[in-house]
Amino acid sequence: MLKNSWTKFTMAIISLVSQTFIKFPVSAVNNAYCQFDQNAIATKETLRQNAIAGNASAQQQYKQMLQEHGDLLRNCRRNNWLKEQAIWLRLYPCDVQGGSIDKVLDNIVNLGYNTVYLEVFFDSQVLLPKNGNYTPWPSVVDVAGQENRDLYAETLQKGRERGLKVYAWLFSMNFGYLYAQRSDRQNVLARNGKGQSSIDVVQDRSQAFIDPYNAQARQDYTKLLQAVIQRRPDGVLFDYIRYPRGSGQQSLVSNVKDLWIYSDASKQTLFRRAQNQQGRWLLERYVNQGFINANDLAQMRSLYPNESTPLWQGRSASAPSNLSTVQLDIWYFTVAHAAQGVIDYLDFASNQVKQRGIQTGAVFFPDGNQVVGDIGFDSRLQPWDSFSQDMEWHPMSYALCGNPNCIVDQVKRVLKSSSQGSNVQPVLAGFWGKNDGQRPSLESQMESIRTSAKPVESVSHFAYSWLLPEHTRERQSCGL
């Protein structure tokens, strides 16, 4: 009897607090970043816990509060210079527990975020139900009794109940370590002139980059994409649209054998770009040998005396045929071939999404396309300034200089290459309300962008795990 009385009393208090909030909703959002006050947060969390416990009244009130908070957040963003504030989110097997996704999304709304970038393909795993996973990668949730759980679809639904947009965020050219161990996929991996894959070069051995020209890679990725877009996210973001970056000297490329063009598909595509026999012969000699010299040019001319100069796509018949000019031309051409693979792969993937009327976006490093020295390049060869302008551009603006200036400079560099500006949506790293060594607070970063990097109206924060580390640790080790 006492237990029943206590339950009724508790629910009466919850109802009273909820009604008070409903009466004065504007007070729930208490700052310029559309974050909710602690009273509203506590009320919602209590309702969530009681709703999970099966209390019908709490379930109804909780659902009502979710809608009200969604309306408040939408109105706040509408009246704010920052129309969209997004967060990057990874789910774990522990999130199959009742109420776990609800708590994550409530925390996201509480912090003023109105968009979620949900990771659905990462580290050789896909966020698809085990019984409905027809991709080459294992499912994130591999728990007995949970074979049909679709955390991706559940998050889409629960996010929309809160007024959130939910994007699918995918690794793209990085297929993961487990994929690289498959004996039937060795030809798919990108390789350099030393026969290495990215597993041999990247220190943490977790990154397995594929040859973007490989048909099997595209077929495998298409299976994943079709499952992703079938669930109708609000957008799809492509990450790792680049080649690997090693450490030290391996962080740049200055010789053809540094380039990730030595798997068969990439090499054959390169050789087909030749436009005469001299061009084909010289490209093959250059790639296989790693250089060309005067003897190579002499041998080429003796083999094909009826042709005046080696030709390949973009090279004019009137181009000088002296050794130094040919050496530079062929170097820049092989670099362009590598970079074109990245562009083509992104187009191949994004076009499948666009055809379904879903927004697409590319995630990249603002300095991933820079020249290094006289003829060198950043080894990532990420030609983001050639990415489609009708995509969202998400530059990872992580510069470290102790103040927001270098971050703003990265954003400005991207804005300069954008024909419209409004598609540039910077990705920021840091913490609310505190400086993290060389990285200023999120507030100061956003304020600097507001005043110095117009017309940006959308930013995102990397990541939920950084901003709520304790909750993330709980979700990583629940003992399932």
pLDDT tens readout for residues 47-90: 999 999 999 999 999 999 999 999 999 999 999 999 999 999 99
Q: Across-strand partners of 237?
A: 169, 361
**Among 18-27, 144-153, 176-185, 273-282, which stretch is predicted with the lowest mean pLDDT?**
18-27
> How far apart are alpha carbons 256 and 121 in whole angstroms?
31
The one-letter code for the residue type at 156 is L
Cα–Cα distance for residue pair 190/345, rounded to 1 Å: 13
Q: Identify the pLDDT of residue 235.
A: 98
Euclidean distance between CA atoms 282 and 296, whole angstroms = 8
Mean pLDDT of 173-183: 97
CB 448 within 8 A of CB 405: yes
Non-local CB neighbours of 16 within 8 Å, separated by 6+ positions: none
Task: Indicate whether 3 pLDDT > 70.
Answer: no
pLDDT category at 334 given cuts 50, 70, 90 is very high
Check pLDDT > 80 for residue 30: no
Kindly report the pTM of this predicted structure. 0.93
Q: For Cα atoms 106, 112, 116, give the angle at the middle one, nearest 5 degrees.
A: 65
Would you say residue 243 has pLDDT above 50? Answer: yes
Give a three-class secondary structure readout of 319-352.
CCCCHHHHHHHHHHHHHHHHHHHHHHHHHHHHHH
**Could you tell me how far CA 453 lies from the centroid of its own chain?**
22
For residue 420, the model assigns a pLDDT of: 84
Q: Is 197 helix (H, G, I), strand (E, B) or coil?
A: coil
Share of the chain above pLDDT 70, in %: 94
Cα separation, 319 vs 326, whole angstroms: 9
SS3 content of the chain, % helix, strand, coil (to 5): 50, 15, 35
Confidence band, pLDDT 50/70/90 cuts, at residue 102 = very high
Alpha helices in 83-214 (DSSP H): 100-110, 151-161, 177-180, 198-201
Q: What is the mean pLDDT of the chain?
A: 93
Q: Residue 76: what are its φ and ψ, rounded to 5°?
A: -65, -45
Q: What is the mean pLDDT of residues 265-292?
A: 98
- At residue 402, does pLDDT exceed 50? yes
- Position 406 pLDDT exceeds 60: yes
Counting residues of the chain whose pLDDT is more than 90, the rounded percentage is 88
Which is more confident, 108 or 2?
108
